[in-house]
Structure 1
Amino acid sequence: MTTSRPANSIPATVWVLGIVSLLMDISSEMVQTLLPFYLVSGLGASAVFVGFIEGLSVAVATVTKLFSGILADRLAQRKPLAVLGYGLGALSKLIFPLATSMGWIVAAKAVDRVGKGIRGTPRDALIADVTPPELRGASFGLRKSLDTVGGFIGPLAAIGLMILLGGDVLAIYWIAVVPAFLAVLLLIVGVREPKAPFHAKGSGLPRLADIARLNGAVWMVIGAASLLTLARFSEAFLLLKSQEAGFAPAWIPITMVIMHAVYGLTAYPVGALSDRIGRSGLLIASLFVLVAAYVTLACAAGVPAFIAGIVLWGLHMGLSQGLLATLIADTAPKNLKGTAFGVFSLITGIVVLLGNVAAGLIWDSHGSGATFLTGAVLSAVTILVAAPMLLRVKRPA
C-alpha cells in the first residue's frame, strides 16, 4: 500500500532527509567551527596546513562520492549507502575529542569525509528519485535550508558551551557526538526507498565505464560548477579572518552562525524561484555576490565590515549550492543520477583541494587581504567563462 501526498507538496522523504542533515550538521559545526582555532592555537598548525586539511577532507569525500554514486545506480539502492555514510560520520565524532596531535585530526577528518562521501550522492539521488521535476528546485533548496539550520544551531551551541565550559574544546567535541548518532537513528527508522523506484533494477558492481554514458548537459554543469568552486575558498579562512576582525576565541563560531542564517533563509526560496524562472540566471547572480563578498572581506579591518562580508558570503551560498545539485538532477539520465552526482563531487573536490592549498599559501605569504582579493579576481573571471556555459543548459521538459 502506498501513501499519497497532496499535489505540489514536497515529499516526506525530503523532509526527513533534511532533518537528518540538520542533526548531522549541528554535530559537524560544533566541531568544525572550533577546529581552525584548535589547530592553530592548540596544536600549532599553520594556515597552509589548515587549507591543506580542509581541501584534503573535501577531496577524500569526493573520491568516495564517485564510487558511492556509481554503486547506488548499479545496485538501485540508496538508503543502505546513506546509512553507512552517516554512521561513519557519527563514529568520526568519537575520534575528535581523543585527538592529541595533528595526525589524529587528519584521521578523524578522513573518517568523517569518507562517511560524507558515501552518504551524499545516494541521498541526493534519492531526493531526485522521489521528487517530480517541477518541485526539484524547492526540494533541493529545502534540504539545503534544513542543513544550514544545523549550521546555524551548531556554532551557537559551540559559543554557549565555550562560555559555559571555560573554553574546553574537547568537552564540546564529546557533546557533539549526541546529535550525530540521533541523525543515524532517524535515517534508519524514518526513510524508505520508493517501492517503485524511478531508476532501473540493480545490475551488479560499480563500473567506471558508466561515467562515459553521462550526457553533454551534465558535463556542462560540472564544468561551470568546477570554475565556481575554484573561486570559492573554504569557510575555514573566514574563521581565521574573524580573529583578525576582533572576535575573541569564544565568539569565533558566530561567523558560521551569521553565514548559515543567511544561507538557510535564502536556499529554499531561491530553489522554489528557480522552478519558475530557471536556474542559470540565479547562479550567475551568485557569482556577482561572491565578488562583493571577497572585496568586502579583503577590506574589512573591524567587526562591522567583516559581518557584512559574511552576510554576502551566505547569500552567495544560498543562491548557488542548492541550484548546482538541482541542475545535476535536471540534466542526468534517470538511471545515472547517482553516477552524475558522484562525478560532480569528485571533480569539484579536486578543485577545492587545489584552491584551498593555494589560498593557504597566499595567506601565509601575503596575508588575508591578498587571499580574498585573489578570490575576487577568480570569481570575476568565472563570471566571464561560466556564464555562457550555464546559459546553454536547458531546463527539463
Structure 2
Amino acid sequence: MKYITRTVRILSVVSLLTDTASEMLYPIMPIYLKTIGFSILLIGILEGIAEATAGLSKGYFGKLSDISGRRVVFVQIGYAFSCISKPMMAVFVYPLWIFLARTMDRFGKGIRTGARDAILSDEAMPETKGKIFGFHRSMDTLGAVIGPSLALIYLFYRPQDYKTLFYIAFIPGLFAVFTSLYLKDKNTVSVNPKVATPLFSFLKYWKESPTEYRKVVIGLLIFTLFNSSDVFLLLKAKQAGLGDSMVIGVYIFYNLIYALFAFPIGIIADNVGLKTIFIIGLALFATVYLGMAVNTNLYIFFGLFFLYGIYASATEGISKAWISNITDKKDTATAIGTFSGLQSICSILASSLTGLIWFKLGAPTAFIATGIMTVLVVFYFLTVPYPITPKTIKLFE
C-alpha cells in the first residue's frame, strides 16, 4: 500500500466527507424543492443550469490550474463552495436564492475536479494509476453509502423535516474543508502566468491534444450521450413495484458495491490493462440496461444493481486513469477538465434524450436503445490503441 501516499489519503477522505454531505441530500432534493413551490419544469431548469455551470467551469479551471502550476488552492476553494451551498438551500426559499445556492455547489465541483484529478495522477506512476484512482473512487463512493443511509435514518424519526438535513449536511462538508487544509502543492512554478485564460480557452486543447486522447474521449462522450441519469433506473425499479424506502435502499446497495469494488478493480486494471477493464465495464452496463428493459422480478433488480455497481467500479476512475496516461503531465488538469466538462454537457443531453424516448415509446424502448448503443461503443473501443505500461509489457513478453 506504499503507492497510497499521504496526499492520496487526504484527498480521499475529503471526497468521502463531501460526498456524504452531497448524497445525504440527493434522494430528498426533488421532494424538498417541490415542498417550497418548485414545479417539475423549474427543477429541470435548475438542474440543467447547475450542471452546465459545472461543465464549463471544469474545463476552464483545469486549464487555469495547469497554467498557474497550482493545484491545492483550486481543490480547497472548490470544496469550500460546495460546503457553503448546503445550508444556503435552507436559509431562504426564494427561487433566485435556490438557483444561486445550487449553482454554487456545482461551480465548486467545477473548480476542483481537474486540479484534484491532476494531483491523483501526479501521485501515481503509469502502472499504478488504476490503484490510485480506484482507491479514491472507493472512498468517494463510500460517502454515497453513508449519506443516504443517514438521511434515511433521520427521516424515519423526523418525517418530512427536510430543511434540517441541509444544516446537518453542512457538518461533514465543513470537516472536508478543514481536512483539505493539510494538502500542500509539491510544485508551484507557473507554466506561463502572463497568458490570458478566456472562459472557453480549454477547448483549444482539443486541437493540441494527442491523437490517442481524442480517440478515447470521442468514445467516452458517445457513451455519455446515452448514459442517462441514475434516476431513470430508480424510476424503473419504482415502476416495477418497489416502495420508496426500497428504492433508496437499492440506490445505497449500488453505491456500496461500487465503493467495495472500485479499489480492487483498479488493482486488476493495472495488471491486465485499463482498456480491458473499461470494456468489460461497458459490457456490464449494456447487460444492466437490456435487463432493465425486460425485467419485472423485484429480486433480479438487486442483481442488476449489483452489476451496475461493478460497471461503475470498472469505468469511472479507470477512464480518468486512462486519460492521464495518454496526456502530457503538464496538461493533466486541462485534459481531464476538458473531458469532464464535455461529459457534463453530454449528460444533460442524455437524460433529455432518454426522457423523450421513455415518454414517446415507453421505458423498455429507452433501455434497449441505450443497451444497443453501448454495445456499438464497445466495438469502437476495441479499435482504440491500448495504453502500454511497464507491467502490461511484461504480460505480453
- Could you tell me the TM-score, scaled by structure 2's length? 0.89
Distance 1:330 1:186, change over 3 A: same
Q: 2:73 & 2:351 partners in 1: Cα distance?
A: 32
SS of alignment partner, residue 232 of structure 1:
coil
The residue that corresponds to 2:123 in the other structure is 130
The residue that corresponds to 1:159 in the other structure is 152
Tell me if 1:274 matches 2:269: yes
The residue that corresponds to 2:394 in the other structure is none
The residue that corresponds to 1:206 in the other structure is 197
Tell me if 1:294 matches 2:294: no
Tell me if 1:143 matches 2:136: yes
Q: 2:304 & 2:31 partners in 1: Cα distance?
A: 20
- Aligned ranges 1:20-169 → 2 under 5 Å: 20-39=14-33, 43=37, 45-46=39-40, 53-54=46-47, 56-98=49-91, 100=93, 105-169=98-162
Q: 1:339 & 1:253 partners in 2: Cα distance?
A: 36
- Aligned partner of 1:325: which letter? K
Give the conservation status (yes or no) of the 8 Å contact 2:131–2:267: yes
The residue that corresponds to 2:315 in the other structure is 320
- Aligned ranges 1:240-255 → 2 under 5 Å: 240-255=235-250
The residue that corresponds to 1:309 in the other structure is 304
The residue that corresponds to 1:258 in the other structure is 253
SS of alignment partner, residue 340 of structure 1:
helix
Distance 1:229 1:160, change over 3 A: same
Q: 1:174 & 1:370 partners in 2: Cα distance?
A: 41
Q: CA deviation at 1:169?
A: 2.0
- Aligned partner of 1:191: which letter? L
Select 1:16's aligned residue among 10, 16, 19.
Answer: 10
- Aligned partner of 2:344: which letter? G
Select 2:184's aligned residue among 192, 201, 208.
Answer: 192
Distance 1:360 1:82, change over 3 A: same
Give the conservation status (yes or no) of the 8 Å contact 1:70–1:339: yes
Q: 1:238 & 1:101 partners in 2: Cα distance?
A: 31
Distance 1:36 1:247, change over 3 A: farther
Distance 1:331 1:272, change over 3 A: same
Distance 1:283 1:253, change over 3 A: same
Q: CA deviation at 1:374?
A: 2.5
Q: CA deviation at 1:274?
A: 1.3
Give the conservation status (yes or no) of the 8 Å contact 1:227–1:386: no
Equivalent pairs: percent with the same residue? 27
The residue that corresponds to 1:345 in the other structure is 340
Distance 1:16 1:72, change over 3 A: same
Counting matched residue pairs gives: 385
The residue that corresponds to 2:395 in the other structure is none
Q: 2:147 & 2:60 partners in 1: Cα distance?
A: 30
Give the conservation status (yes or no) of the 8 Å contact 1:56–1:353: no
SS of alignment partner, residue 81 of structure 1:
helix
Q: For 1:102-142, what per-residue CA distance to the aligned partner results, in whole angstroms no more than 9, with x for missing partners?
A: 66554333111111010111000011122222221100110
Q: CA deviation at 1:192?
A: 1.2
Distance 1:364 1:107, change over 3 A: farther
Q: For 1:326-350, what per-residue CA distance to the aligned partner results, in whole angstroms no more than 9, with x for missing partners?
A: 0111011011111111111122122
Q: For 1:232-269, what per-residue CA distance to the aligned partner results, in whole angstroms no more than 9, with x for missing partners?
A: 21122233334324343345422321111111112111
**Farther off after superposition, 245-254 or 121-130:** 245-254
SS of alignment partner, residue 92 of structure 1:
helix
Q: CA deviation at 1:69?
A: 0.6
- Aligned ranges 1:209-248 → 2 under 5 Å: 209-248=204-243
Unmatched segments (≥5 aa) in structure 1? 1-5
> Considering only aligned residues, what root-mean-square deviation do their CA atoms show, in Å?
2.5
The residue that corresponds to 1:182 in the other structure is 175
Give the conservation status (yes or no) of the 8 Å contact 1:122–1:338: yes
Give the conservation status (yes or no) of the 8 Å contact 1:36–1:240: no
Give the conservation status (yes or no) of the 8 Å contact 1:51–1:236: no
Give the conservation status (yes or no) of the 8 Å contact 1:54–1:356: no
Distance 1:30 1:65, change over 3 A: same
SS of alignment partner, residue 383 of structure 2:
helix
Unmatched segments (≥5 aa) in structure 2? 391-397
Distance 1:252 1:37, change over 3 A: farther
